[in-house]
Amino acid sequence: MTIVNTYDINDLIRLGATFTVDNVNTDPTEVTLKVKDPTGTTTTYLYSLAEVTKSATGVYHKDITLTDTGIYYYRFEGSGAVVSADENSLIVERSEF
C-alpha cells in the first residue's frame, strides 16, 4: 500500500470504489466501507443503511470530512454477488494556522 493522497485538515473528500466482474461494473449484494482515522478509531459505513452512496452500477462513494491530522486508512468491501476488497490510505497535513 502506497500513500499518495495528501490533504489539509477539514477537507471534505470523496472516497470511492468500483466493483467489477469480468471488467463489467457489477453491484455487490452489500457494500461496506471502513475508515480508520489517525486516532485509531474505525468507523464502518454500510450501503444497506444508506451510509454509502451508489453513483451507478458497481460505483459507490462516501464523502467524509478529515478532522484529524495524520494517516487515514480506508477499505471498501463487496460481498454476495461480488466478493472484492480494496484498501488505501491518505495523509492529512497539520495546519500552520
Which sequence spans correspond to the domains of the chain?
5-93
Query: What would the pLDDT profile of 15-70 be if each residue is shown by its tens digit?
Result: 999 999 999 999 999 999 999 999 999 999 999 999 999 999 999 999 999 999 99
Q: Strands 5-8, 84-93: parallel, antiparallel or unpaired by DSSP? A: parallel
pTM: 0.91
Amino acid sitting at position 24: V
* Longest Cα–Cα distance in the chain: 49
Fold of 5-93: Immunoglobulin-like (2.60.40)
